Amino acid sequence: MFYFILVLLLTNVFSTNEEPERATTPKSRKKSFAALVFSSTTNVPPSQKESCQWLRRLKHQSKQCWKRRGLAKILFHAKTQSIEQCQSLFKYDQWNCSKRDFFFKKLYRETAFMYSLASSAVAYSVARACSEGHLPGCKCGDPGKLPEGANWQWGGCSDNSKFAKKFTKKFLQMKKKGDGLNAIVRYNTEIGINVATENEELDCKCHGVSGSCTVRVCQKKLDFKKIAARLKILYHNAILVKPGNTIRSFKGDKNAQNLLFLDSSPNFCLNTAGRQCNSTENCATVCCGRRPHSTEVTIRNDTCDCVFKSEKFNVDCEPCMQKKTVLTCP
């Protein structure tokens, strides 16, 4: 018996195999940056001191927010953009981006989405701040070489995606290691950063006499609505990782962009009563098969009888009252 125990002890002492990061059940932990981003619905801009008070529970992020001039407004912009886009994208889904604090108690599909959206919002806001001159130490992005045969030229000030990617990873401490749960959180966070910074689009304007397009000048810009929409697709295609599984298999393919989650979502059908839906098919989903109530309401529309005024180079419209059918879940 003594010999058997001695063998076990020696095996543990001299074992050199590195333990892979595994998915684990969440334990109680301090709030993450994403949880703080989605914890409040306030849309009141920062005070004159550009308060970073909402980040006080995160030592590193709070310190950077107070230290770097202009960063407080950028982070507040990322916060409001995250909440607004989440509510807009899921307005007609069973989960409408409500009760957000609940989802950070575990790692649901919805949690994975919010982690990725929060990080993408920071990257987007930083990239845009660089091009608008709102972040000291950061300049316009380098658009690269002009494509061969292009009938346009680079101009203006492109969003600085390269700087934003590097800055966001450092700000969110992406190199900080932890358990398997934190590995999944970092993975989802990095996907948000990548989707934001790797989806630049050409934004072109024409220049010439009398509105002619003699010269077409372009710059690279990010579109946060499209970034958020892309992340919602990844939300629907997210992969459930069973506790004990290694995370390495999801890290191997750099082109793979699958959000990961540990816990199955709760039943949202219990909370959809009174929610609006926008079509027969959509109502079947949001109302969980319950037949919606139909109500006719009168709304004001400011874009009726629109006429183009050539002398003003604009479109004039008249207000009018229109009837609209509203569908509501019972």
pLDDT truncated to tens, each residue of the chain (330 aa)?
Answer: 444 444 444 444 333 344 445 455 444 457 899 999 998 656 666 565 558 999 999 999 999 999 999 999 999 999 999 999 999 999 999 999 999 999 999 999 999 999 999 999 999 999 999 999 999 999 999 998 888 777 888 999 999 999 999 999 999 999 877 667 788 999 999 999 999 999 999 998 887 776 677 788 999 999 999 999 999 999 999 999 987 666 666 665 555 679 999 999 999 998 999 999 988 889 999 999 999 999 988 888 888 989 887 666 678 898 999 888 999 999
Instruction: Please report which helix (H) or strand (E) contains residue 125, including its range.
Output: helix 109-132
Specify if 312 maps to a domain: no
Closest alpha carbon to 109 in 250, 234, 208, 203: 234
Residues 283 and 220 in one domain: no
Closest alpha carbon to 168 in 250, 58, 41, 61: 61
Residues 146 and 277 in one domain: no
Within 10 angstroms of residue 212's Cβ, the number of other Cβ atoms is: 9
Residues 228 and 275 in one domain: no
Do the Cβ atoms of 194 and 123 come closer than 8 Å?
no
Residues 142 and 279 in one domain: no
State how beta strands 239-240 and 215-221 pair.
unpaired
List the alpha helices (DSSP H) in 133-211: 161-171, 180-197
Go through the chain and tell me how many residues it has. 330
Q: Domain range for residue 281?
A: 267-300+321-330
Residues 163 and 287 in one domain: no
**pTM of this prediction?**
0.83
Burial of 294 (0-12, 13-18, 19+ CB in 10 A): exposed
> In total, how many domains does the chain have?
2
Specify if 51 maps to a domain: yes
Angle at 196 between CA 191 and CA 197, to 5 degrees: 100
Rounded to an integer, what distance in angstroms lies between the CA atom of residue 182 and that of residue 241? 13
Residues 138 and 239 in one domain: yes
Residues 31 and 119 in one domain: yes
Rounded to an integer, what distance in angstroms lies between the CA atom of residue 181 and that of residue 213? 54
